[in-house]
Amino acid sequence: MRLVIQRVKTARVDVAGKTVGQIDQGLFVLLGIHQEDSSKDVDWLIQKLVKIRIFNDEQGKMNYSIRDVQGQLLVVSQFTLYAACKKGNRPSYTRAARPEQAIPLYEEFIAKAEAELDQKVASGQFGADMQIELNNDGPVTIILDSRTPEIF
């Protein structure tokens, strides 16, 4: 499972011209699910996500987590995070989980994030053509991957 985390002042996701998820200060997260992912990957990433200190303290140092600043969370599914681009010019997405596996893990991720943050988590619509608008704060962008945690 792979996350691209962006610290934002605001973020919004629209589907067919209608806003389906929106937040103010917090984290915008693109979530890619690998075909071999499980609840274990969800649990590890949720703990990292809610504890990662990427919000500034009074001295401008990144010492606060999303919990500390009571920030909001917007999660959007993103199968293209598992694009394989080594051969040719058309990416292959065979490593990404199929919807029948990915949807339950996506929903589990959101539910566990809500439980950890004790608040509603905004989300996109799985598999939909989504338009994303965000105001990246910093910019601060972090990648986490449960398959290769030592790299990130």
CATH number at residue 30: 3.50.80.10
* Contact present, 144 and 48 (Cβ < 8 Å): yes
Whether 46 maps to a domain, the answer reads yes
In the chain, what is the greatest distance between 2 CA atoms, to the nearest angstrom? 49
pTM above 0.85, yes or no: yes
- Residue 136, Cβ neighbours under 10 Å: how many? 14
Kindly state whether residue 97 falls inside one of the protein's structural domains: yes
* Within-domain flag for 43: yes
Say how many domains are in the chain: 1
Burial of 118 (0-12, 13-18, 19+ CB in 10 A): exposed
> Is residue 150 a part of any domain in this protein?
no
Q: Is the pLDDT of residue 39 over 80?
A: yes
Catalytic hit among 6, 28, 55, 78? 78
Dump pLDDT digits (tens) for 51-70. 999 999 999 999 999 999 99
Please say if 22 is a catalytic residue. Answer: no
Q: With respect to residue 152, please indicate whether it lies within any of the assigned structural domains.
A: no
* DSSP structure string for 83-105: -B-SSSSS-B-TTBPPHHHHHHH
**Structure confidence at residue 83 (pLDDT):** 93
pLDDT at 152: 58
In a domain, 151, yes or no: no
**Which among 6, 28, 55, 79 is annotated as catalytic?**
79
148 is an active site residue: no
- Choose, from 70, 80, 131, 148, the residue flagged as catalytic: 80
Residue 79 in any domain: the answer is yes
Residue 46 pLDDT > 70: yes
Question: Residue 37: which domain range?
Answer: 2-145
- At a CB cut-off of 8 Å and minimum separation 6, what does 108 contact? 39, 42
Tell me if 91 is assigned to some domain: yes
pLDDT of residue 148: 86
Assess whether 78 carries a catalytic annotation: yes
